[in-house]
Structure 1
Amino acid sequence: MAYVVIGDRFVDSEDILKTILKGTEFKKVKDLTKGSKREDTLVFQIIQDVNQLKKELDTEESGIAIDDEELVEELMSLADEIAYNIEEFLPEEVVCYVYSYHYDEGLEEIRTIVVAASEEIGGLRLRDVAERILRSVD
């Protein structure tokens, strides 16, 4: 359990995690907030099933032929888009940074990091925080 300052109140990252798990169908979601050692940032790792993402891309039915590298790029982009859906489970006054950073062909999953903080922090600062967190995950 980690309490984070958002605006003028404290939020419990564990409560938000439970809400995300109830409202989404991700393969797995981990709360990394406590490990970030920041009092103003929520951090979640989302693991998405590659096969489910491929179904949503639907490249075979559309007749579009793409090579493996392009497919991975498309899957990573789609994973980012879908991960942004957790914004609806976060406090209104936060900004999010979402980045899919790892494609695991063997486990058939994509790992995405979601970093959220109060709007006062701003997008560029949030991206800096996310980059530091990415260096320490997995």
Structure 2
Amino acid sequence: MRYANYVTRTTLDTAALAHDLRLGVMRLARRLRSQRVDTSVTLTHLSALSTLKRHGPMSAGELAAHERVQPPSMTRVVGALEAMGLVSRTPHPTDGRQVVLGLTGAALELLAAEGRARDAWLSGRLHELSPEKRAVLREAAAIMDELAGA
């Protein structure tokens, strides 16, 4: 009987933690997203640019797969990014039917500015916390990476 109560209590504690963590992460992510440098570039655009920065040049189909969107949707995103001067197209080295998408210097500058703005906001908020709370968050950041499978 005691084991069953322990399992039930542990399950409820884990579910409550999952709920609280999900809400906290969502709220923090929303606040970080609001620290935008250039609101003419959508979050979808920034995500695609970040993927190209992280993984390097790739085809539109590969980018769509990384972003988990349908190729026609990515074609529209790439068209908008190209019109803004943030993405360049070069011929695919082995497949003449495809092009390889890469970042322009303007895209790299935009991503750096966006990152600096968000880091500045978060650094300011972290500075308001006690050293003990910052230490807890340092450990939590590693655990969150583990949970995300990074």
TM-score (norm 1): 0.31
Higher fraction of strand: 1
Higher fraction of helix: 2
